[in-house]
Structure 1
Amino acid sequence: MADQAVAPLALPKPPVRPRRAASLEKPVRIAGQPGFVLHSYPHKETSLIIDVFTREHGRIALVAKGAKRPHSALRGVLQTFQPLSLSWIGKSEIRTLTAAEWVGGLLPLEKSALLCGFYLNELLVKLIARDDPHPGLFDHYVSALNQLAHGEAAPIVLRKFELSLMKQIGVAADLSLCSGTREPVVPTSSYVVDPERGVRLARPSDVWPRVSGQTLLDMEREDYAGNTTQSQSKFLMRFLLAHQLGGVPLNTRQILIDLTQL
């Protein structure tokens, strides 16, 4: 019996991987973005890593090459609380700063207002995720700096910003409604704000800060004229922020408490 021919084994062809579009491989360039320096720290011998808050791109990290050199054009520009026009390149976690220009328009912060500004910056650094844009919060930040620079009451400026921040990052709901029942808050009733669920009527066993319905309604419409609203909102926001921070202390908050009882 003749041997039967064995057909050659057919090997599968390797999959053809689509070539990445050339445009995706190019570095991302951003030019003329409004922003502020929140924090900076040394990088290598002559550079800085700066944490900036921008209007359209949120909080990002940039390396400012050569910024520590005595004659660097960036040396006097990369200051906190100064409105800047920022340009950068890159897609990694830390991009490269290519230009920074002071645009002006804000008075400098002085004395206690300066410390309040650092408090706002610390809140943003610790509570805002990187690459998460918040244009509305950016505008509120600019407004808060402007109010502090013009001598407006710091406790009220801070309470407004704290609540705006928590609403923007999605951890504070409408304070004028009970979260479970969606019933309107009653000015004369007593409430607590559950950090995870929102506003509800207070119970005898509650250990959380109790606030009046009037305080919650005032906070929602940014009316802090009443002394009770000012006092209750201070302890409420301190409690809610501590929960979001997971017990991590705010350095500037403690200094403010020690110096001015804000």
Structure 2
Amino acid sequence: MPPATPDAALTSATASPQQAAPDAQGGVVLAPVAETPPKRPRAPARERTIGTKVAGQPAFVLHSYPYKETSLIIDLFTRDFGRVALIAKGAKRPHSQLRGVLQTFQPLSSSWVGKSELRTLTDAEWVGGMLPLEKTALLCGFYLNELLVKLLARDDAHPALFDHYVSTLNQLAHNEPATIVLRKFERALLKETGVAADLGRCTSTRAPVQADVTYVVDPERGPRPERASDPWPRVAGKTLLDMEREDYQDAATQSQSKQLMRFLVAHHLNGAPLNTRQILVDLSQL
């Protein structure tokens, strides 16, 4: 038998795999074996849901406005997908199931479909379990919603902030002091968006903040000792330490933290006004 040529050896090495099979005369022939196609890697669960279909997502309506004659565009704050914009088709019709459901400050189970930035709401159900906000607490709730709309990017999940929002609504509904509840939420919001500095450490020296020293807070860097030329609010070191511990029982801490957070929030809003804040300021609640 002549030796195999290099071309024949190469052909044999690269040919499709074969298996032995009997022929009609009892001999053996080589039959090609079907190759198994490679499996595609499975996308993570979050990637499989984004842009296709989401069901049963905990959510709150932050804001809504009319769209065409019978529909609404709603801004939802969801636990696992952050802020999402949805079209609620037919929600303004008298007999729509969505008409009485899409209310602010009410926990919802929401479902939607779509790949674009503006998706389509397919279902929303009232979950219940929360007291309604009334009077000043209601205005405070609208203030929270306005902060979320103006400071959170779309499709950026903040599950911890979502839980804090639920807790804050419950505290307001149970008439806990608004000045304390709002300060804690403002601070949590700035932390979640990555713009809150460590209030317990001086940025210029990296030394711990001293309770008996007066500071200013650089909105981009953090606390440092005051200077005569500083235009920013003066804050006692004790106030900064109290805020870092979320301890707002001291009257001076409440007053100074209010001025400080008003300044910091305004800075990160880049001059955008807060309509609800002005109402609350007029009512001496913020």
TM-score by length of 1: 0.89
- Give the 3-state SS of the residue equivalent to 2:283 in structure 1: helix
Shift of the alpha carbon at 1:179? 2.4
Q: What's the CA shift string for 1:20-44, capped at 9, x where partnerless?
A: x9x9999511111101000000011
Paired residues, what number?
A: 242
Q: What's the CA shift string for 1:111-130, capped at 9, x where partnerless?
A: 00000000000000001010
Q: What's the CA shift string for 1:20-69, capped at 9, x where partnerless?
A: x9x99995111111010000000111100000100110001000000000
Greater CA drift, 52-61 or 175-184? 175-184
1:37 paired residue among 49, 61, 71 = 61
Identity of aligned residues (%): 74
Equivalent residue for 2:215? 191
Query: Residues of 2 paired with 1:217 and 1:193: CA distance?
Result: 13
Shift of the alpha carbon at 1:260? 2.4
Which has the higher relative contact order, 1 or 2, with Cα contacts under 8 A spaced 6 or more apart? 1
Query: Residues of 2 paired with 1:80 and 1:36: CA distance?
Result: 7
Q: Which has the larger radius of gyration?
A: 2
Matched, 1:139 2:184: no
Q: What do you get for the CA RMSD once the two structures are aligned?
A: 1.8
Shift of the alpha carbon at 1:204? 1.7
TM-score by length of 2: 0.82
Shift of the alpha carbon at 1:259? 1.4
Equivalent residue for 1:16? none
Equivalent residue for 1:96? 120
Matched, 1:28 2:52: yes
Equivalent residue for 2:71? 47
Q: Moved runs in structure 1, 4+ residues, more than 4 A? A: 23-27
Query: Residues of 1 paired with 2:73 and 2:190: CA distance?
Result: 27
Matched, 1:243 2:261: no
- Give the 3-state SS of the residue equivalent to 1:208 in structure 2: coil
Partner amino acid for 2:61?
Answer: V
Matched, 1:207 2:255: no
- Give the 3-state SS of the residue equivalent to 2:242 in structure 1: helix
Q: Structure 2: which 5+ runs fail to align?
A: 1-40
Q: Are the equivalent residues in 1 in contact too, given 2:56–2:111 (CA < 8 A)?
A: yes
2:96 paired residue among 72, 90, 93 = 72
Shift of the alpha carbon at 1:165? 0.4
Q: Structure 1: which 5+ runs fail to align?
A: 1-20
Greater CA drift, 175-184 or 55-64? 175-184
Query: Residues of 1 paired with 2:244 and 2:154: CA distance?
Result: 27
Q: What's the CA shift string for 1:86-117, capped at 9, x where partnerless?
A: 11111211010011011111100000000000
2:147 paired residue among 123, 131, 136 = 123
Shift of the alpha carbon at 1:199? 1.3
Query: Residues of 2 paired with 1:105 and 1:31: CA distance?
Result: 20
